[in-house]
Each structure stands twice: as structure tokens, then as C-alpha cells.
Amino acid sequence: MDDDQHPADRRVSRRHLLLGGAAAGLGAAGSVGIAAAVTHTGEPVAVADVDLNGRRTVPFYGVHQAGIETVPQAQVTYLALDLLDTVDAGALKRMMRILTGDAAQLTQGESALADSEPELALVPARLTVTFGFGPGLVARTAKPAPSWLRPLPAFTIDRLEDAWTGGDLLIQVAADDQLTVAHATRMLLKDTRSFATLRWTQSGFRRAPGSEKPGTTMRNLFGQVDGTVNLTPGSADFEKLVWGTSSPGWLAGGTGLVFRRIAMDLDKWDKLDRGGRESAVGRTLAVGAPLTGTKESDEPDFAATTAIGFPVIPEYSHMRRARSENPDERIFRRGYNYDDVPTHTAVSNSGLLFVSFQADVDAQFVPVQKRLDDLDLLNEWITPVGSAVFAVPPGCTSSGYIGDTLF
Amino acid sequence: MNTAFTTKTKTLPTLLLLAVTTLFAATGCAASSESATPTASASAADSITIEDAWVKAADDGMSAAFGTLENSGDTDITVVSAESPASTMIELHETVENDAGEMVMQAKKGGFVIPAGGSLELAPGANHIMLMGLTAPLVAGDDATFTLTLSDGSSYEFTAPAKDYTGANETYEGDMDMDSDTAN
């Protein structure tokens, strides 16, 4: 890091302010490489403010909402709200103006209007706030809903619980810092008090910023590299398959969001040996390479067979089943792990908050999920317990608000 | 108690807003607090802006408006009064400790002074614009328009969105029927 070249005395003086006498010893250590020094309490030496990840912001206004193409932040909270019966289009508009205003400020590291804890807003840490509209919300406006804006068809593997399913309004709050997420979440929910009630909250996480090389594919709690083949923001495929405009006019610049809470049975997974785990997915656990390759990015060779004639990548493997011959049946995944409080005698309550973005849920997501529902060995260990579909409206300008094309 | 409007010194279009029969149809226009614009060309109004303006949502009775008034000019500006179609009566309030040691709000004598090149924060528990008689429910997401009359007679208009807020329950000196929660 270039920061390592900064004068050591500046760092020491900063620490001196914080630690008083304790920093005196650190001062002596400075001569032998202060940048790597750690105090006896284990605290890392403070870095210059300009380098702080907490200062980083993601633009709020734009053609598309932030939080989709944004490199996934470490922490996320999804909120689904049910609109009150009294909320009509006029009230929806008022609600979205308030939510938009506060989201715009919070994401830029500024306190929201009427922010009771304004100091908590000063660390944006790449905060994004993304809104999605459920069927129940769009129905209260005069505009048509896209044909795919409805609950997904029932899949045989589903064990959906109301507590994790549906919702009129989705708010995705994501940042690299959980305190930032918690504050933004509370501010936004306070904004909704006159309009809606909280249906469910689901929080998830990835690696903390700085823990891994940027761009490293996430691992899920099965230990698998999860999300290798994905659409790339900025690519022509992404433009077409995520921001495509087959939907009603008000959704131009928007997309569709599928939310699935997928419970992962870690206790059952524990009973499976490493070879079995790899064949269930078709990829190695070490680097996520196809079983026919050596690198994560290698293309799988589905024709390859073992010495006794079986496919190296089994017919029932998740990777094989998730692939479509039709290049239009692709989605953009942006999921998170969850690890909640166990119930009863279990020691884990873990899984994946599967989130995918696609222009047409019926044409892109549903066929893939049908194939996985029909056959996917991974189904032995995973169970969808929550499900919802939302239309993600386009972004807005500073004089507009999210959802303004709907009214 | 003191009534507002006593120090208004100039006939301006804003006087139209005084008509207490004005129907306050808050229609949520696109204007945000950032789009507040001066309504007169006088110097004081040219130097004043408000940031992060908002007003507490309320069904009836009283409410209050907040924000940070900024003065880009080189002379102090005094806000002597405020008007809004949202309320039949408005006062400029400060929050002070009374003889009993309680924090109470009262009319700010002489108005709000915004120092040259500086700012004045209007916030719950501190200075604020007090709406004494709402003309209609002020619901979250609606805009309320305010007109400040400044010491040189010019005026400054801004809009503030209404927000649900459970604070700002300061005891009002002289009105013991109000919620007795005190600001922290």
C-alpha cells in the first residue's frame, strides 16, 4: 500500500492522541517499520483517513439504481414491507419521495432528514439502497405490471414459509459496514411508518473488505465457490439480459429481482465426503474449477468420461443442471450468505440469500429453476424456504425519485 | 404569548400567504428543499439558503419546521417572521431552561440571527419554526411551503417535506396540556 510510505511520526502522533503514554513505546518501534506495527493491545496502527473504506461512496442517482452493478458489499439487509390498506398511488408517491431523499443522503455519507443519530451516517462504506416493487405495490398504481411480476411457480423442492416470502416493497440496504447498514435500515423503516409494516428482514454477508483480492468469487457456507459463471456488469450480455426493455415503459432502465431464501443443511452436508461434495456441484472445492479443469475460469467438458465410462461431471451435478443451451436463459446473481440463530437442538441455521437480477423472470430464471427442481443432487442438502419477485424500477435524477416513472 | 407577524415591515407578495383561509393542498410537487429559491431580489434574501429543511408530520394542532439556515453574505441577517399556508399561526421559537430547570420553548425575541458567512441550525430541542395551528393534516412526504421575512423586508421562500418524527416534543411554556416530554 502506498500508505505504508507515509511518515511514521504522523501515525505515531495520531496514536499518541488516542493512547497517550501507551504510544510512547510505539514511537520507538517506528524506526523498525511502523506501517506493520501493532500495539500491544492488538490494535492496528491507524491509517490515513483518506484510505478508509468507510469513506467510499457509490453514486445514488443514475439511469439504473445502485446496488446491482455495484461490486457486492460485505453486508446486506433485505427488508420486505406490506403496504397499509389505506395507501393509494398518492401516498406511494409521498413515501417514495421521502425514502429516495433519505437514501440519496445516507449513501453519500450525509445524515438523513430528521436523523436522530446523524453521526452514524458519516461512514457510508459504499452504502447502496435499492428499491423493488412487488405485485401489490404496482397494482395500486395506474400502470401495468410486467407479466412476470408474480409469485414464482411452485417447485417441488420448495418449503416456503410466509415469514420469508412475498412483500409489496423490497429495500436492499448494503454496505461494507454493518453499523452503517443498521443505521440506514432504521432510518428508512422510520420513513415507512405511515405507509407500511415490516413483513420480513433478512441479513447476509460476504467476506469483509480487504480480506480477499477484489473480484474473488464468493464462497458459500458449504465451502463452495458460488457464482463463478455470472453476467458481467457493463457487458453487452448484461445490458440485454438485466437491463433489457421487454417490460412496461415505466420499467425501462429497471430490471426484475428474484429473491430466494435457501436453507442449507450443514449437519447433513457434514456427512458427505469431499469427493461427494465435489460431484454434487461438478466443481472442485479447492479452487472451484470444473471437475474436468484446473482453474475456476476453465470451461467444463461435459463429454469427458471416467475410466469406467461415467461422466466426470455427473448428469445430476448442480453446475450441469443450471446450464442452459439457450444463452438467453441466464441471470445475474448477487447473493449473500446468512447464518442466523439456530433453533431447537440444531447448531446451525445457515444458508444463502439467493438474489438474481434479470429482465424477464419467466424467460430467464424460471426455466433454470425448473431444471434444478427436476434434478440437482444439491437438492439433497438445500431447501428454498422463502421466495419473492420484485420489479426494480430505474434510477432517478436528483430532481426525481425512485419510482417516479410509475406515477 | 406573543403573536407572530408583528415585525413584518414590507408589503411583499408573500403577504398573500397570510390569508388564513388558504386551502393547503399539499400536492407533493417536485420541488425539494434544495430547490428553495429567493422570492425577492433584496440583498438579505439573496444571501440566505436553507439546507435539509423538513417539517414534522402531524394530523392537527401544532408542528415544527427545521433545517440549517445559511448566510453567504457579509452582514448578519435576522429572520423576523415566518408564514406558511400550512398553519394559521407561526412563531420563531427557541428552547431555553425555565426557572424550574425544565427545557421549554418560547418565542425568540428579535427573531433568528444568521451570522454573516455562517449558519443557524433549526433542530428539535433547539431553535425551530413553530406551527401553531395546522390548516390541514401534514402527512409524511407532503411538502409545506414557508416564507421567511427578513430584517430588511425581503423574503425567502422554501419548501420542506413532512417527515414522521417522534421527537420534538418540547414542553411549550404556557400550554400545560401539551405532551410533557422534554427534549434531551
Q: pLDDT (tens digit, 9 = 90+) per residue, A128-154?
A: 999 999 999 999 999 999 999 999 999
- Tens of pLDDT, residue by residue over A276-328, are 999 999 999 999 999 999 999 999 999 999 999 999 999 999 999 999 889 99
Q: How far is CA B142 from CA A129, A142, A400, B54, B164, in A?
A: 22, 21, 15, 10, 11
Query: Which H helix or E strand runs over B49?
Result: strand B48-56
Q: Is A193 on the interface with B (CB under 8 A)?
A: yes
Please give, rounded to a whole number of angstroms, the shortest distance from the CA of B164 to a CA of chain A.
7
Q: What is the pLDDT of residue A22?
A: 38
pLDDT confidence of B169, banded at 50, 70, 90? confident
Supply the pTM of this predicted model: 0.83
> Across the interface, do A95 and B141 touch by the CB < 8 Å criterion?
yes
> Across the interface, do A101 and B161 touch by the CB < 8 Å criterion?
yes
Q: Is B57 on the interface with A (CB under 8 A)?
A: yes
The CATH classification of domain B40-161, taken from the options 2.60.40.10, 2.40.10.120, 2.60.40.1890, 2.40.50.100: 2.60.40.1890
Q: What is the pLDDT of residue A47?
A: 54
Instruction: Say yes or no to pLDDT of A3 above 50.
Output: no
> Across the interface, do B141 and A97 touch by the CB < 8 Å criterion?
yes
Average pLDDT over residues A33-54: 58
> Across the interface, do A399 and B32 touch by the CB < 8 Å criterion?
yes
Q: What is the pLDDT of residue A247?
A: 74
Alpha-carbon distance of A98 to A174, in angstroms, equals 19
In whole numbers, what is the pLDDT of chain B averaged over residues? 78
Q: What is the pLDDT of residue B103?
A: 85
Q: What is the pLDDT of residue B168?
A: 73
Alpha-carbon distance of A296 to A318, in angstroms, equals 15
Q: What is the pLDDT of residue B176?
A: 44
Q: How far is CA A30 from CA A33, A35, A43, A44, B51, in A?
A: 6, 8, 15, 13, 45
pLDDT confidence of A205, banded at 50, 70, 90? very high
Q: What is the pLDDT of residue B171?
A: 67
- Tens of pLDDT, residue by residue over B122-163, are 999 999 999 999 999 999 999 999 999 999 999 999 999 999
Q: Which residue of A has its CA nearest to B52?
A: A113
Q: What is the pLDDT of residue A40?
A: 55
pLDDT confidence of A245, banded at 50, 70, 90? confident
Q: What is the pLDDT of residue A36?
A: 43
Average pLDDT over residues A349-364: 97
Task: List the domain boundaries for chain B.
Answer: 40-161
Query: Which H helix or E strand runs over A78?
Result: strand A75-83
Q: What is the pLDDT of residue B11?
A: 39
Average pLDDT over residues A140-169: 97
Higher pLDDT pick, A50 / B8: A50
Q: How far is CA A215 from CA A71, A210, A285, in A?
A: 8, 11, 18
Q: Is A114 on the interface with B (CB under 8 A)?
A: yes
Q: Which of A184-188, A394-398, B19-23, B107-111 has the lowest mean pLDDT?
A: B19-23
Q: What is the pLDDT of residue B17?
A: 40
Q: Which of A46-60, A65-79, A228-242, A261-275 has the lowest mean pLDDT?
A: A46-60
Alpha-carbon distance of A91 to A192, in angstroms, equals 11
| ipTM score assigned to the predicted complex | 0.79
Q: Which residue of B has its CA nearest to A397?
A: B30
Query: Which H helix or E strand runs over A54?
Result: none
With vertex at residue A296, the alpha carbon angle to CA A291 and CA A300, rounded to the nearest 5 degrees, is: 45
Q: Which of A42-56, A235-249, A392-406 has the lowest mean pLDDT?
A: A42-56
Q: Is B141 on the interface with A (CB under 8 A)?
A: yes
Instruction: Say yes or no to pLDDT of A124 above 60.
Output: yes
* Cβ–Cβ < 8 Å for B119, B70: yes
In whole numbers, what is the pLDDT of chain A averaged over residues? 89
Instruction: Say yes or no to pLDDT of B24 above 60.
Output: no
